[in-house]
Structure 1
Amino acid sequence: MKLPPLKALPVFESVARLNSFSLAAEELAVSQSAVSHQIKQLETYLGERLFWRSGRTLTLTEEGRQYLDAISSALLQIERASEQLLGHEESRLRLSVFSSFAVRWLVPRLPELKRQYPQVDLALEMSTENPQLSDRVADCFITVNRRSPAYNYELLYVERLFPVCSQDYWMKIRRQLGRDNPGDEAQPISAKAISQFPLLSTHSIFDKAAGDWLAWFREAGERMPDNANIQHFSHMLLALEAARFHQGIALTNDYMLSTRSDSEDFVRLPCHTVMTGDSFYFAWKISRRGERGLQLLRRWLVDEAIQSGLRGEELPVT
């Protein structure tokens, strides 16, 4: 078996992760010259340059990125296997997750994860867009991206949008539409009636101005009026906050209202829903499928998704 200089591999991983020779030296408790020596030894063995150095700037070369992706899983598996034999049950996992999903659904549930599986030490890596599926980024992901064949995917949620507003704003809508009687609350509201009120739009859902409301009106077979009062926000968290402070009607999804105590501040309007085309998955690397920590987290996420109504029980758990 022909192996590279094994001592150099964790040094390379540390430098690449921290993007710094000095920080890697501090983490590994060695001198910076020792780190430089190990990297040079590895580059000599591979016959490839792993880093570009320009002044104080350090970046991985394309060969360096490919090599890091290839060895990261192996180093993690060695670490996990050693911990098992040593009797260390703790599983340290980095989970990359969308900020809205984390804030509104996942974080409030973390005490239950800790209660059920105290051995799972979970660190959250926030992402605003689909992250690259790579061990360099995280150990596992909640993502709508299923393009990498190197990963397994477990469905958590198929996204749909529906209009909501604050309790106070709901009273204003009812008064303006002449629905003051208690029995009127559940009567469907047309898209034309909704267009009379300020519409709070989230750009990031469809990556276009008012894309969420355009899709919602289109689902109703209507054209959004040219004079519609649209207020634009980059993120659903912002639009939902604006709705909570009585600024209009926002389109949101199920996980945004499924946990937080302030969910009762909102009223879901009796209107149709629109599917965004996005499905949320828990993703983990196929080569790491045997790791107990990943399987415990996967099972817990699926159970929570079912119990909160995000995912139907009829779907098989893979």
Structure 2
Amino acid sequence: MLPSTQNLTSFVSVAHFKQFKLAASHLNLTESAVSHQISRLEAQLDIQLFERTRKGVMLTDAGRMFYGYVEKALEEIEAGVAAIAQQHETLLAISAPRTFAAMWLAPRISEFSAIHPNIELQITATDRVSDLYREGVDVAIRVSDRKWDEFEQVWLCEQDMTPVTSPELAERIADIGWAQAVLEIPFIRNETHQEEWEYWATETGQVIPEQKQFRKLQSYDLVQAAAARGFGIALSRKPLSEDLMQEGRLVRVLSDAAAQAAPYSILFRKDRRPKAAVKLFVDWIVNAQ
């Protein structure tokens, strides 16, 4: 059976200071506690490690040999603990909705890595609500109006919903007018948000004909890509489609009719001190463009 690290640490400290009193002060223990630890260690090894003198203690021949091994071993353990702690502090696990991760976070995350090259990022793109407590997630980005009392919550941004399409189709809409465009040009529906167009119409006072033609696609990024190629009129969500609009691939066709969807929030655990990397990431993403 190996000696306890506590007894070994006391042994190294006594060997270094050559006094129980100074070793005890260094270890923040009583002199009696250190003396008992050394006695237990000597009893376990069945060998005398120190010779008691009038001025203190000195290592025996066996003690000097043992000291060389123990000091090196404790240094290795300390280095291992420090390495694990550093890796834990610099690994940042982020969970974000799939579309947000693909269309907004991914094009910008290199900026964060350039500023903080020592932070290792682990990004999970999922529409499932990750459990920050059980899954080791440091930061979660979520879409919700909810106030999360069990987490620290930082507001990130609103979602403005407006109709968009390709520049070519936008020119045609400008020529024929919005009322006629609603009758002639297909709308693109995101199948993961079936009632999106109806919600937008209710919020903005617009009218969608009952027999309106919808072209249905399975995800937001597919809807936006199709709209950029003139497949129809889609609803964009700021900030997700900002890059496509800045590049001129998508154009707002009714910019004064915007509806508010649930905002994005940043969540992290409140039951422990946040990693430095969490604070750095939150500060960065709140100010990112």
Coarse TM-score class (shorter-chain normalised): 0.5 to 0.7
CA distance in 1 between partners of 2:129 and 2:208 (Å): 29
* Superposition TM-score, scaled by structure 1 size: 0.58
Q: Does residue 209 of structure 2 align to residue 225 of structure 1? A: yes
CA distance in 2 between partners of 1:102 and 1:87 (Å): 26
Q: Does residue 233 of structure 2 align to residue 249 of structure 1? A: yes
CA gap 1:226/1:297 in 2 versus in 1, 3 angstroms: same
Q: Which amino acid aligns with 1:246?
A: G
Equivalent position of 2:242 in the other structure:
258
CA gap 1:87/1:266 in 2 versus in 1, 3 angstroms: closer
Structure with larger Rg: 2
Q: Map Cα deviations across residues 134-165 of structure 1 (whole Å, 9 max, x no partner).
A: 34162220012546533111111111200100
Q: Map Cα deviations across residues 95-115 of structure 1 (whole Å, 9 max, x no partner).
A: 110111111111111111011
Equivalent position of 1:172 in the other structure:
172
CA distance in 1 between partners of 2:169 and 2:94 (Å): 37
Q: Which amino acid aligns with 2:264?
A: F
CA gap 1:218/1:86 in 2 versus in 1, 3 angstroms: closer
Equivalent position of 2:141 in the other structure:
142
Q: CA deviation at 1:169?
A: 1.5
Equivalent position of 2:63 in the other structure:
none
Equivalent position of 2:269 in the other structure:
285
Contact 2:91 2:120 in 1 (8 A): yes
Q: Does residue 244 of structure 2 align to residue 275 of structure 1? A: no
Q: Does residue 79 of structure 2 align to residue 113 of structure 1? A: no
Equivalent position of 1:162 in the other structure:
162
Identical aligned pairs, as a percentage? 21
**Which residue of 189, 193, 202 corresponds with 1:201?**
189
Q: Secondary structure at the match of 1:287?
A: coil
Equivalent position of 1:45 in the other structure:
none
Q: Which runs of 5+ in 1 are unaligned?
A: 1-81, 178-188, 309-318
* Superposition TM-score, scaled by structure 2 size: 0.64
Q: Which amino acid aligns with 1:233?
A: L
CA distance in 1 between partners of 2:137 and 2:110 (Å): 21
CA distance in 2 between partners of 1:258 and 1:125 (Å): 22
CA distance in 2 between partners of 1:235 and 1:248 (Å): 15
Q: Which amino acid aligns with 1:257?
A: S
Q: What is the root-mean-square deviation in Å for CA atoms of aligned residues?
A: 2.7
Contact 2:160 2:258 in 1 (8 A): yes
Aligned length: 208
Q: Which runs of 5+ in 2 are unaligned?
A: 1-80
CA distance in 2 between partners of 1:154 and 1:162 (Å): 25
CA distance in 1 between partners of 2:95 and 2:155 (Å): 16
CA distance in 2 between partners of 1:232 and 1:85 (Å): 49
CA distance in 2 between partners of 1:286 and 1:214 (Å): 38
